[in-house]
């Protein structure tokens, strides 16, 4: 007979949404438990998402630079080679340190960690089916937070074996560099993985159904992104509808319909990455037991306070509405707990940054030109290229530009879109500007250090209402 335990708050899922919610709840004085069945904390993001992908991106960039870029900088180095075992080990070390770090944070904050799969018995009871190192338990909870995340969306008719036909999880731990890598889907995950393996030597072909890559990017930014990735050797087939993807021995045979030309194209690859998005994950949760509501995309239906149809069961992160991003899940984790504690919480959905960690990086926040046009809002555009920025020039890293969209009457910042070195860091300044309702003139009156990349940010802001100094 399993032990019964009582907690104020039980969080199901230990990803960025769930673990942050659990720590916050404990900090606010609740007896809190978190149920996670993976064996490690940190969810998709730390284990098979954000963190391992960025480790591979960083180190493949370093390798690529050593191979192609050191001579011009006056550094003579011997031949650079990838040691795949150690290359992957470096990634695993980063992941282990961070997932272990959360376990420490749980201890420090006195969050009870149940290692196992949580499922609903009734609306106040969660059964824990233990994995190795876990304990069987039946949890009674005053409040429950569902944070079970997402999984890769399958492609109808294409069978994943995580060897030759892979998801992003397989792409993070290939044992050798595939000679030819085909990718279905030109979204952020596909393009990041494409960048990694292209730098290591794969011929990468991206097959995308839409007529633009970078799902959701500002149109101009998407085009420029495609240009610089093409320069780096990635091939793109847009408007391409995949109709076949089968493994035959050691090759994968792919067919797609070129929707513009109306003809079928056949393609062979050594590895096929299916990166067509992610879908909410609730397998094994036994949501039927409490009659949880789902929408047509299988997202858990919630209200503006993250409440499901039950006042005491809330839901956050990838498994419900909104952008599938770690920082969005984290914000919701905090807000959901604050709703429990005080009756109010806050996430500004108009100010959630997106970053693609290619080189240069692509980052944006707020609205795109397409969105502003559709909303009938009049705006000014301000731009500044990194080729005119002294630091970028000094570093010989000048690809890209900063683009501001500002209200044409008030100069209020409405959106910022950046392609450039460290754009992912720079976009935080745009986030502050948006949050405080800054105008582009406000930004232009803030002293930015010289020589830094962020001077390009300031000058692009100036360009929305006048002239930048250095271009
Ligand atoms: P998850 O991180 O998916 O966590 C849910 C957890 O719940 C999982 O660990 C799962 O095991 C557990 N679980 C599920 N059901 C149960 C159950 N019944 N009982 C117990 N445990 C359960 N986002 C970014 O912001 N930046 C990036 O750079 C980025 N890169 C990415 C790269 C890749 C390759 C991928 C795949 C994703 C990336 N993402 C990135 C997205 C990011 O990983 C997710 O948005 C984020 O992890 C969502 O957090 P979550 O807490 O909602 O869910």
Q: Which residue ranges have their beta carbon within 6 Å of ligand 1?
A: 12-18, 35-38, 43-45, 49-50, 53, 117-119, 147-150, 168, 189, 281, 284-285, 317-318, 324-327, 329
Tens digit of each residue's pLDDT, the chain (471 residues):
688 999 999 999 999 999 999 999 999 999 999 999 999 999 999 999 999 999 999 999 999 999 999 999 999 999 999 999 999 999 999 999 999 999 999 999 999 999 999 999 999 999 999 999 999 999 999 999 999 999 999 999 999 999 999 999 999 999 999 999 999 999 999 999 999 999 999 999 999 999 999 988 999 999 999 999 999 999 999 999 999 999 999 999 999 999 999 999 999 999 999 999 999 999 999 999 999 999 999 999 999 999 999 999 999 999 999 999 999 999 999 999 999 999 999 999 999 999 999 999 999 999 999 999 999 999 999 999 999 999 999 999 999 999 999 999 999 999 999 999 999 999 999 999 999 999 999 999 999 999 999 999 999 999 999 888 998
For residue 7, what are the CA distances in angstroms to 23, 143, 442?
14, 8, 48
How far is C-alpha 180 from the chain's CA centre?
A: 25
**For 257-289, b where at least 16 C-beta lie within 10 A, e where not — what string?**
beeeeeeeeebebbbbbbbbebbbbbeebbbee
Residue 273: φ, ψ to 5°: -100, 125
Query: CA dist 306 to 21, 145, 292, 313, Å?
Result: 12, 9, 13, 8
Nearest CA, atom 37, ligand 1: 49
Question: Which residue's structure tokens are 């969660």?
Answer: 126
Q: How far apart are CA 184 and CA 207, in angstroms?
A: 5
User: Shortest CA distance to 403 belongs to which of 365, 376, 371?
Assistant: 365
- pTM score, whole prediction: 0.97
**pLDDT at position 281, please?**
98
Query: Does the interface ipTM go beyond 0.90?
Result: yes
Distance 336 CA to ligand 1 centre (A): 17
Looking up tokens 């991003």, which residue turns up?
325
- Distance from the CA of 14 to the center of ligand 1, in angstroms? 9
Pick from 469, 441, 436, 314: nearest CA to 380: 441
Residue 317's nearest CA partner among 304, 309, 326 is 326
Q: Which atom of ligand 1 is nearest to the CA of 323?
A: 45
Q: State the distance from the centre of ligand 1 to the C-alpha of 346, rounded, in angstroms.
A: 21
pLDDT value for 1:
66
User: For residues 87 and 351, what is the distance between their CA atoms, to the nearest angstrom?
Assistant: 35
The three state secondary structure string of the chain is CCEEEEEEEEEECCCHHHHHHHHHHHHCCCCEEEEECCCCCCHHHHHHCHHHHHHHHHHHHHHHHHHHCCHHHCCCCCCCCCCHHHHHHHHHHHHHHHHHHHHHHHHHHCCEEEEEEEEEEECCEEEEEECCCCCCEEEEEEEEEECCCEEECCCCCCCCCCCCEECHHHHCCCCCCCCEEEEECCCHHHHHHHHHHHHCCCEEEEECCCCCCCCCCCHHHHHHHHHHHHHCCCEEECCEEEEEEEEECCEEEEEEEECCCCEEEEEEECEEEECCCEEECCCCCCHHHHCCCECCCCCECCCCCCECCCCCEEECHHHCCCCCCHHHHHHHHHHHHHHHHHCCCCCCCCCCCEEECCCCEEEEEECCHHHHHHHCCCEEEEEEEHHHCHHHHHCCCCCCEEEEEEECCCCEEEEEEEEECCHHHHHHHHHHHHHCCCEHHHHHCCCCCCCCCHHHHHHHHHCCCCCCCCC
pLDDT value of position 67: 95
Cβ atoms 108, 27 nearer than 8 A: no
Opening angle at CA 160, ends 156 and 165, nearest 5: 110
Q: Supply φ then ψ for residue 124, to 5 degrees.
A: -120, 5
Find tokens 């194209």 and name the residue: 265
Provide the 10 A C-beta neighbour count for residue 145: 29
Ligand 1: which of 172, 326, 335, 353 to mutate, judged by most atoms within 8 Å of the beta carbon? 326
Active-site residues, by number, are 450
Strand partners, 180: 203
Strand partners, 413: 406
Residue 412 β-bridge partners? 439
Question: 149: annotated binding-site residue?
Answer: yes
- Report whether 398 belongs to an annotated binding site: no
Residues in the chain, overall count: 471
Say if residue 285 carries a ligand binding annotation.
no
- What gap in Å lies between CA 114 and CA 256, rounded to an integer? 46
Quote the pLDDT of residue 467: 85
What is the rounded CA–CA span in Å between residue 196 and residue 240? 23
Phi and psi at residue 89, to the nearest 5°: -65, -40
CA nearest neighbour of 38 among 17, 9, 14, 11: 14
What does DSSP say about strands 251-258 and 263-269: parallel, antiparallel, or unpaired? antiparallel
Whole-number Å distance, alpha carbon 351 to ligand 1 midpoint, is: 21
């Amino acid at each position: 007979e399993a032990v019964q335990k009582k907690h104020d708050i039980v969080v199901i899922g230990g990803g960025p949404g769930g673990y942050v919610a659990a720590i916050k709840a404990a900090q606010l004085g609740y007896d809190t438990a978190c149920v996670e069945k993976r064996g490690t904390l940190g969810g998709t993001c730390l284990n098979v998402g954000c963190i391992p992908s960025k480790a591979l991106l960083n180190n493949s960039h370093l390798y690529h630079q050593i191979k192609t870029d050191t001579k011009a900088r006056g550094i003579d180095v011997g031949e650079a080679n990838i040691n795949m075992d150690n290359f992957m080990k470096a990634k695993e070390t980063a992941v282990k340190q961070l997932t272990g770090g959360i376990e420490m944070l749980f201890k420090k904050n006195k969050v009870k960690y149940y290692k196992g799969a949580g499922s609903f018995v009734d609306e106040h009871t969660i059964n824990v089916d233990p994995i190795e190192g876990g304990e069987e338990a039946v949890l009674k909870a005053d409040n429950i937070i569902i944070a079970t995340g997402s999984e890769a969306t399958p492609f109808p008719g294409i069978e994943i074996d995580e060897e030759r036909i892979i998801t992003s999880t397989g792409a993070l731990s290939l044992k050798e560099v595939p000679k030819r890598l085909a990718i279905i889907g030109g979204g952020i995950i596909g393009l990041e993985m494409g960048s990694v393996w292209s730098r290591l030597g794969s011929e990468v072909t991206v097959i995308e159904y839409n007529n633009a890559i970078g799902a959701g990017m500002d149109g101009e930014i998407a085009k420029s992104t495609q240009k610089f990735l093409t320069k780096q050797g990635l091939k793109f087939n847009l408007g391409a509808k995949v109709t076949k993807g089968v493994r035959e021995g050691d090759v994968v045979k792919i067919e797609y319909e070129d929707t513009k030309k109306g003809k079928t194209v056949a393609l062979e690859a050594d590895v096929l990455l299916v990166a067509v998005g992610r879908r909410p994950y609730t397998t094994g949760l036994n949501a039927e037991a409490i009659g949880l509501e789902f929408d047509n995309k299988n997202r858990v239906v919630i209200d503006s306070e993250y409440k499901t149809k039950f006042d005491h069961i809330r839901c956050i992160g990838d498994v419900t509405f909104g952008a599938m991003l770690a920082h969005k899940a984290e914000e919701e984790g905090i807000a959901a707990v604050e709703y429990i504690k005080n009756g109010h919480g806050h996430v500004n959905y108009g100010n959630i940054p997106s970053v693609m960690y290619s080189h240069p990086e692509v980052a944006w926040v707020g609205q795109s030109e397409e969105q502003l046009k559709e909303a009938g809002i009049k705006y000014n555009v301000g731009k500044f290229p990194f080729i005119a920025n002294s630091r970028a020039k000094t570093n010989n890293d000048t690809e890209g530009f900063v683009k501001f969209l500002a209200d044409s009457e008030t100069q209020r910042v409405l959106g910022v879109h950046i392609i450039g070195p460290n754009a992912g860091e720079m976009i935080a300044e745009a986030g502050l500007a948006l949050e405080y309702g800054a105008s582009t003139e406000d930004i232009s009156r803030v002293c930015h250090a010289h020589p830094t990349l962020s001077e390009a940010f300031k000058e692009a802001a100036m360009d929305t209402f006048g002239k930048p100094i250095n271009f």
